[in-house]
Amino acid sequence: MNQANLDVLEYRFPHIAEKLKSFNPSELRQEGVLYERFDKDETWLQAVRELIEESKIIFVYGFGQGLSIADLLEEFPDRWLFVYEPDEASFNNVMSENDISLLLSHPNLYWISVGDDQLRMLFHLLCSYMQEKLAFIGLRKFLEDQFEVLHDVKKEFLSYKGDYHSNKYVENRFRNEWTQNYLYHLHESLTTHSIEKMHGAFKGNTAIIISSGPSLTEDIEWIRKISKHALIIAAGSSVQALVKYGIEPHLCVIMDGHEVNNKIFSNEETLQSTLLFTSSSYYGISERKEKNKIYSIMENDQVSQYFLQINKNDLLMRPTPTVAGTAIQTAIFLGATQVVFAGQDLSYPGQKVYSDGVEHFSQDTKVEMLQRAVRQVENVQGGMNSTDASFMSMKESIESLIKYFNHIDFYNSTRLGAVIEGAPFQPIEEVYEGLKDKEVEKDLIENWMSDHSVAINHGQFANVRARIEFVERDVVHLKPEIRDIRKLINNIEGLSRTKPLKCHNMIFDIEEKWGSIVNREWFAPIFESLIPLQLARFDRMLPSIVVEQNIILKASYIKEYLGGILEELESQLPHLEGLLLESGRRLDSIHNIMDA
């Protein structure tokens, strides 16, 4: 490896440097190198000009030897390049054979991903920074010989983009509840079994995922029979229906963060079974359950990951728009090799909203839900059910999980529900026939937890408490820093017209001061949770702000977008201080009880 190249990679693209260091040269394919013409490829550049147009962000498929990348940077000095090189061996050879450190250092070469495992990382950044348009191009070889590959990657990106923006709006909708729950659950994370620690504990079982759809009423007696032969996992509000009929599930799973979910568990019987609660779930529910509970941190919960110093790669649970998705993953992580859906209607068969016994929504709310059901979906009996956009999103997320866990057998026993791709319909009575010879203990999960007590780590308590105190102090320091930048921002628009050089220097000061704020290690985890849409909007404008050469326009962008973010941050600080104070109090309270 050329040392100059490696130095730049370690500074700008450490994810690539780590990958290249672990390569075994004897295993690399020498024939994978994509050689390019040394002279400028004008024909190719003309073709990509038409694709790029006004896009500020350019996705480039292929790095090659870097020659075409250099031409793009010269031809489009006001754009950001995001480059994906699929061939790790080719990239390693290029880094070894030539000193291209100047190219790698170019500020507009914003990101490089190498290999399949780094493609989603690049997708995430593209979604963060792109505005309305994204130029999607490939090196000449790929445009000429592998256009279908580019088409497939673009299709994959568009699917990712849809999920990304959908998740951002969901995060924004629940931002206050989720951030509060993340912080108020920290003390429980240190005293509760985690789903990661229980991975594979009940290998080989069948899990019945119970949801709240109308079909559950039809099959409730079969659920009672099958509860002795399979793990019964209630997804959220479905526990109400089970309790109504005197059925206690092996496990109840919750993830919803709004206080309204407290109504589901207002009946103490709904809290009798073991509870799996995610860090996003309403904190008041898990608080009321003293024992037999399992904690799970979602991959998108950066707040808990920061305070607990947990790596995202060490977490199991992926976020989904439905608690059934959390229940499915829970079943599989616990060791289920077969998953069966019950009450998973994902629609309104017979214009009915929920199973009997599910009563946390008013009649008016149910009427409104039916009025929004303007779409149709095929049901398992061959007919059509009314449904809505929310249910269709849930259906897609469940189908995505089925594809992801392709080593698991899925079946749908929901008698009147929507067809779920990847989970063929099997009546619950047939499911029962296949399981009746297998016995599953009623207290299977509780017994395991009793035999595997949680080891309390006092050092971890101290570390989490210290991080909370650090952020509390730093928030106090942040206030004057924000006000200082806002004062400078208020001056730059006028200066941009009268004293452009002074304006340029002031913008440099603003960028340095803003950098000192966003580079705090706690900033992104907390504020991407508290103000996700506002930060996303600013990130989308960042390429335009950075590459803008017109000082008047640049000053205008900074005032509008950075000024707006600073105003939002300042308004959130008192709320954040209150959350941190209460989180610390909860941590102290539980620690004092343990020390007593």
Q: Give the tens place of pLDDT for each residue, 207-254.
A: 999 999 999 999 999 999 999 999 999 998 899 999 999 999 999 999
Lowest mean pLDDT among 195-199, 283-287, 379-383, 392-396: 392-396
Identify the CA nearest to 236 among candidates 99, 373, 343: 343
Distance CA 210, CA 431 (A): 14
The helix/strand/coil state of 130 is coil
Q: Evaluate whether 344 touches 234 at the Cβ level (below 8 Å).
A: no
At residue 324's C-alpha, the angle toward residues 320 and 329, to 5°, is: 70
**pLDDT attached to residue 38:** 73
**pLDDT attached to residue 31:** 46
Distance CA 114, CA 401 (A): 26
Lowest mean pLDDT among 120-129, 203-212, 487-496, 587-596: 587-596
Tokens 């529910």 — which residue?
285
The two structure tokens encoding residue 233: 């996992």
Q: Between 206 and 128, name the one with better pLDDT.
A: 206
Tokens 């029979």 — which residue?
225
Distance CA 42, CA 47 (A): 9
Lowest mean pLDDT among 114-128, 379-393, 472-486: 114-128
Identify the CA nearest to 91 among candidates 139, 146, 151, 137: 139
Distance CA 555, CA 499 (A): 12
Distance CA 316, CA 334 (A): 11
Domain ranges of the chain: 3-173, 178-449, 458-595
**Angle between the N-to-C axes of helices 563-595 and 175-184, in degrees from 0 to 180, rounded to the nearest 10:** 30
Pairing of strands 193-194, 409-412: unpaired
pLDDT at 128 over 80: no
**pLDDT attached to residue 168:** 58
The CA distances from residue 530 to 235, 303, 466, in Å, are 27, 10, 21
Distance CA 103, CA 93 (A): 16
Q: Evaluate whether 353 touches 216 at the Cβ level (below 8 Å).
A: no
Instruction: Express each pLDDT in 364-412 by its tens digit.
Output: 666 676 777 778 999 999 999 889 888 888 898 899 999 999 999 999 9
pLDDT at 33 over 70: no
The CA distances from residue 595 to 170, 267, 289, 458, in Å, are 40, 32, 21, 10
500-503 long-range contacts, Cβ below 8 Å, gap at least 24?
Answer: 500/551, 503/551, 503/555
Distance CA 6, CA 96 (A): 9
pLDDT at 205 over 70: yes
Encoded amino acid at 15, one letter: H
Distance CA 400, CA 370 (A): 26
CB atoms within 10 A of CB 452: 12
- Interval 248-264 mean pLDDT: 88
CB atoms within 10 A of CB 180: 23
Under the banding of pLDDT at 50, 70 and 90, the label for residue 149 is: confident
Q: Evaluate whether 19 touches 10 at the Cβ level (below 8 Å).
A: no
Q: Evaluate whether 386 touches 369 at the Cβ level (below 8 Å).
A: no
Instruction: Express each pLDDT in 572-586 by its tens digit.
Output: 999 999 999 999 999
Identify the CA nearest to 219 among candidates 423, 442, 435, 430: 430
The two structure tokens encoding residue 96: 């070894």
The number of CA neighbours under 13 Å toward the Cβ of 564 is: 14
pTM metric for this prediction: 0.75
Q: Between 329 and 456, name the one with better pLDDT.
A: 329
**pLDDT attached to residue 171:** 56
Written out in words, the top-level CATH class of the domain with range 3-173 is alpha beta
- Interval 355-369 mean pLDDT: 65
Residues whose CB falls within 8 Å of the CB of residue 51, separated by 6 or more in sequence, listed in order: 135, 136, 137
Distance CA 108, CA 73 (A): 7
The helix/strand/coil state of 113 is strand
Encoded amino acid at 537, one letter: R
Tokens 């080989």 — which residue?
204
Q: Evaluate whether 186 touches 583 at the Cβ level (below 8 Å).
A: yes
Lowest mean pLDDT among 48-57, 400-409, 563-572: 48-57
The helix/strand/coil state of 28 is coil
**pLDDT attached to residue 502:** 94
Under the banding of pLDDT at 50, 70 and 90, the label for residue 30 is: very low
- Interval 533-542 mean pLDDT: 80
DSSP state string for 454-514: ----HHHHHHHHHHHHHHHHHHHHHHHHHHHHHHHHHHHHHHHHH-HHHHHHHHHHHHHHH
Identify the CA nearest to 324 among candidates 272, 266, 380, 402: 402
Instruction: Express each pLDDT in 438-465 by its tens digit.
Output: 999 999 999 999 999 998 888 999 999 9
The helix/strand/coil state of 217 is helix
